[in-house]
Amino acid sequence: MTPKTVTRLLREHGVGREFDVLSLDIDSYDYLVLDVLLKDFRPRLVVTEINEKIPPPVRFHVEYDPHFRLRHHFYGYSIQSLAELCARHGYTILELEYNNAFLAPKEIAGAQVEGVAEIYRRGYLERPDRRKKFSSNLDVDILHSLGPAEAIDFIERFFARHRGKYELSL
């Protein structure tokens, strides 16, 4: 599944414009696939994995690469990027359960009441078992104590070997 093939594949398999549930977890360029998919399809519920390590307001997503290989922390997209994608397509983030975001069209769910930072804080950052469940994230936990510009600098250094393969901004 790629950003160029997703809508064709869904149509070829008889998926209608509106369908019940989309679960998206491809550990790579998920952001681009979801962005393209939501231009032509309107699932009533979307469950999508985010890169939970990257806090708002940092925007991050992996670019399409047909040779992508999952590497330590380098995958997916940030919740801030997801929030902006949702706004463009008329979706609302309902909830975050660690690294899984639940979305619905605004016409079903209504407008997003909480800000993305609050959703992130409640759904991931302040979960009492977060450090145990996501112990592999401890090497980047410093991101939660940095300001936005410092977080960008940290991420650029941390992902230096992937330069040019991701979008990163505030």
Closest CA to 125 of 49, 55, 20: 55
| Residue 82: pLDDT over 90 | yes
* Average confidence (pLDDT) over 50-79: 94
Peptide bond into 105 cis (omega under 30): no
User: Where do the structural domains in the chain lie, given as residue ranges?
Assistant: 6-169
Instruction: Report which of residues 65 and 79 the model is more confident about.
Output: 79
Q: Are strands 100-105 and 91-97 parallel, antiparallel or unpaired?
A: antiparallel
Taking each helix axis from N to C terminus, what angle separates 30-40 and 79-89, rounded to the nearest 10 degrees? 10
E strands within 31-121?
A: 45-49, 59-62, 91-97, 100-105
Q: Is the pTM of this model over 0.85?
A: yes
Phi, psi (rounded to 5 degrees) for 162: -105, 10
